[in-house]
Amino acid sequence: MLIQKSAITVKYKRIDGIKRIYYNNEKIFKNYFNEATVLPVPDDAPTEIPRIIIKTLHDHAQLNISPEATTFEVFYDEGFERDWTKCSQYIEARMESVFAFLNLLTDNNYEYIGVVSYILFDEIEKDGTAILAERLLKSEKIKHIYDINIRYTFTEKENIFVNITLQNARLYKSDISTDIAGELNKDNLLAESIGAIVDINDRYGFNDDVNYQSSAKNLTVLLQNMDNVINNKLTDLIKKGEY
C-alpha cells in the first residue's frame, strides 16, 4: 500500500485582515515552515484566492490560507508513504502551528474540518478492474467492464462522514504521450492496480445541526478514523467486500 498524499481542509466563516495578522505573528510558523509568500491581492478579491502561501521546510507540503478556508497538502516519501502513523504525526505537528495562527482569527470556531488521503494498492499489479467488480459488484451478469469507480459514504458517531472511492488504476510507462494514437496500449501498460480516495470530515455534523461548531481538536479524531480505515477497513473492503 502506497500513501501518495493527503490534504487537510479547515473551513470557517469569512475573516478579514489575514495578511496583517500574519505579519504580526509569523513566528508561530518558524519551527516547521519557510517564510510565506503573501500575495498582493486586494481584500475584496474572490475568497477562493489564497492570501498567504507557505511551504514547509524541505518542501514536502504547502499551506494555503484564504479568507474562508485553509488547506494543507502533503506529499509523502522517504518511508512515510508506507506508514500512516508517520504521516499522521507529520500532519498533527504542523497543523498545531496552523491552528495556533487560525485561532487568533477564529477563536477556535470552525464550520468543519476534513482530511483526504490518496492511496495506491501497488501490491496489486493486474486485474484491478476485475477484482473490484467481483468483490464489490458481486454480479456475473455485468460483462466487459473496462473501468470501475465506486463511492461509499459511511457515518461515524454523530458528526463524521467517511467517504471512500475505489477505482482501478492503470499505470503506464513514463515516456508515453496520451496525444498519440495507440500509446495507451497493453505493451505500454505497467500495471493495473487499485486506487482509493479516503475523505473523512465532520461535515455531517455541520449539515445536520444548525448550531454545530468544529474545533482544532476534531482533527485528531479525523486522523484516528483515517488510521482505522487505512490500516483495517480499507483492505477488508477490497479483499472481502466488507466494511
Q: What pLDDT digit, counting tens, does each position of 90-113 carry?
A: 999 999 999 999 999 999 999 999
Q: Mind listing the pLDDT tens digit for each residue in 8-64?
A: 999 999 998 899 999 999 999 999 999 999 999 988 899 999 999 999 999 999 999
How far is residue 224's CA from residue 216's CA, in Å, rounded to a whole number? 14
The packing angle between helices 84-106 and 18-25, to 10°, is 110
Residue 114's closest CA among 231, 228, 222? 222
More confident residue, 239 or 220: 220
Percent above pLDDT 70 for the chain: 100
Helix (H, G, I), strand (E, B) or coil at 40: coil
* pLDDT for residue 138: 80
Alpha helices in the chain (DSSP H): 18-25, 84-106, 128-132, 203-208, 218-228, 234-240
The alpha carbon of residue 177 and the mean position of all alpha carbons in its chain are separated, in whole angstroms, by 28
- Contact assessment for residue 87 and residue 60, using Cβ atoms and an 8 Å cutoff: no
Summarised one tens digit per residue, pLDDT across range 195-232 is: 999 999 999 999 999 999 999 999 999 999 999 999 99
What number is the average pLDDT over the span 155-166?
96
Beta partners for residue 172, in sequence order:
189
> pLDDT digits over 116-148, tens only?
999 999 999 999 999 999 999 887 788 889 999
Separation of first and last alpha carbons in the chain: 18
